[in-house]
Amino acid sequence: MTTISSPKPFAIPPTLVEDLKVVAVQLRNGDAPGPALSRALAKIAELPPATVLSARRDIAYAADLSSWQEPKLWPWIKRRTASHAELLQLHPQLGWLFVFHLSGYLREAAMHKISGPIDSPFLFAEILTRLNDWVYPVRVAAEQCAERTFPATNAAIVAKSSFALFLPSRNWSRWQEGRQILDATQSRRDVCAEMAARLITAEGNRASRIAREMLQHPHMDEHLEHLATKAKLPSVRSVAVDVLLRRRASWQTGWDWQWIDKSMGIRRRVPSYTNRTIGIAVDQNKAMRAALEDRSATVRAGALSALIAHEEDFPDAVPLAERLASDKSRKVRERAHFLLTRAAARRS
């Protein structure tokens, strides 16, 4: 087999590279995998799930998982060494290595060797990303693998991997059934609990979008009040408050066209949303008061926007707005003044 070399320096740990190179020699000679494979798989399992798309390249190059193999006939012993496909049949433990293979045929075959729960967020992420593989038979094999493994996989592993790939996966264009399999996995009550726990401590601007899209799953309703008061990020608290006060969760499902000038054929793409009514009883007045006392102006302003939209549901809307008429945040003051002005116009 022709040895392949990496076009860039390896980003995976050097000790993993060394183990994979030992495995590459064993595979090239058609030998049974030894302790180096076990060590390599253990180190692969510890990689961060967010690095899966870049790490898989390094794994394939370090282990010399070429998409093409020469016939290997050693003239002095007159026998052919086993191919990767034959080795996989003889040693199913190679399945977790060959999912990184550059050959789609071997990635597909490797998927069929994997069963039981997945015990690593990185390996869960690998199967997840293969649902969007560019080779159609690999996607089908990944779907079958996910159906066997995802339901039995621990919720903490699902949540850690899902959190890392949640937003990138929304831009995948090749997967079909795989998206439904992932949605069914993320909708589990235990997974929703783990995702909520991550959202409580999350940092970065992606968390609020993850929160909004996770709220399509009814089991997330159980965590709304906790998210609204305990989440570290104001943007996450604001999403939870908005859902509590409006009693409705909404999330983006695609894109539509909106006409700007139909006579000139000018239009723009706008996001399309789906919504559902939340399935828990909410003390809206209590939630509103807590939101209006939040330390973040973003949360206070969002709560006032909900108050403006649903004033009829809050008998003490005017007193609540009066308390914020002199708020230090301009956007909060503007919303409070709007509500008070509208209430005064109705009385006159």
- Encode pLDDT of 230-263 as tens digits: 999 999 999 999 999 989 999 888 888 888 888 8
CA distances from 302 to 14, 223, 235, 263, 297 (A): 49, 19, 10, 37, 8
What's phi and psi for 117, nearest 5 deg? -65, 150
Q: Which two tokens stand for residue 58?
A: 């390094």
pLDDT attached to residue 6 = 56
pLDDT attached to residue 67 = 55
Residue 95 falls inside a structural domain: yes
Complete DSSP assignment for 207-258: HHHHHHHHTTSGGGGGGHHHHHHH-SSHHHHHHHHHHHHHTEEEEEEEEEEE
Residue 192 clears pLDDT 80, i.e. is over it: yes
Q: Where does the pLDDT of residue 2 fall: very low under 50, low under 70, confident under 90, or very high at 90 and above?
A: very low
Residue 321 CA to residue 309 CA, distance in Å, equals 13
Last residue of a domain, one of 139, 163, 186: 186
Report which of residues 55 and 251 the model is more confident about.
55
User: Of 195, 197, 235, nearest to 215 (Cα)?
Assistant: 195
- pLDDT tens per residue, range 103-147: 999 999 999 999 989 999 999 999 999 999 999 999 999 999 999
Report which of residues 158 and 78 the model is more confident about.
158
In this prediction, residues 57-72 reach a mean pLDDT of: 77
pLDDT attached to residue 1 = 44
Shared-domain flag, residues 33 and 167? yes
Residue 131 falls inside a structural domain: yes
Residue 331 clears pLDDT 50, i.e. is over it: yes
In this prediction, residues 159-169 reach a mean pLDDT of: 92
What's phi and psi for 13, nearest 5 deg? -55, 140
Residue 82 clears pLDDT 80, i.e. is over it: no
| Rounded percentage of the chain residues whose pLDDT exceeds 70 | 93
Residue 276 falls inside a structural domain: no
Residue 329 falls inside a structural domain: yes
Q: DSSP class of residue 314?
A: -
Q: Give the other-Cβ count within 10 Å of 190's Cβ.
A: 13
* CA dihedral sign of residues 261, 266, 271, 272: positive
Shared-domain flag, residues 5 and 117? yes
Q: Give the other-Cβ count within 10 Å of 184's Cβ.
A: 15
Shared-domain flag, residues 180 and 287? no
In this prediction, residues 181-200 reach a mean pLDDT of: 96
- Rg value, the chain, Cα: 27
Residue 326 clears pLDDT 50, i.e. is over it: yes
Q: Where does the pLDDT of residue 102 fall: very low under 50, low under 70, confident under 90, or very high at 90 and above?
A: very high
Residue 123 falls inside a structural domain: yes
pLDDT attached to residue 328 = 93
Q: Where does the pLDDT of residue 7 fall: very low under 50, low under 70, confident under 90, or very high at 90 and above?
A: low
In this prediction, residues 18-27 reach a mean pLDDT of: 93
Q: Where does the pLDDT of residue 189 fall: very low under 50, low under 70, confident under 90, or very high at 90 and above?
A: very high
pLDDT attached to residue 81 = 66
Residues with Cβ within 8 Å of residue 3, at least 6 apart in sequence: 24, 28, 64, 66
CA distances from 121 to 160, 177, 265, 276, 314 (A): 6, 21, 48, 30, 45
Shared-domain flag, residues 182 and 304? no
Q: Which two tokens stand for residue 224?
A: 């709304």
From 151-155, 174-178, 197-201, 326-330, the region with the lowest mean pLDDT: 174-178
Residue 257 falls inside a structural domain: no
Residue 4 clears pLDDT 70, i.e. is over it: no
CA distances from 191 to 155, 171, 206 (A): 5, 22, 19
Residues with Cβ within 8 Å of residue 119, at least 6 apart in sequence: 45, 153, 154, 157
Shared-domain flag, residues 287 and 182? no
Domain total for the chain?
Answer: 2
Report which of residues 75 and 11 the model is more confident about.
11
In this prediction, residues 36-64 reach a mean pLDDT of: 94
User: Domain range spanning residue 176?
Assistant: 1-186
Shared-domain flag, residues 179 and 290? no
Say which residue the tokens 């180190």 belong to: 43
Last residue of a domain, one of 186, 207, 233: 186
Mean pLDDT rounded to a whole number for the chain: 89
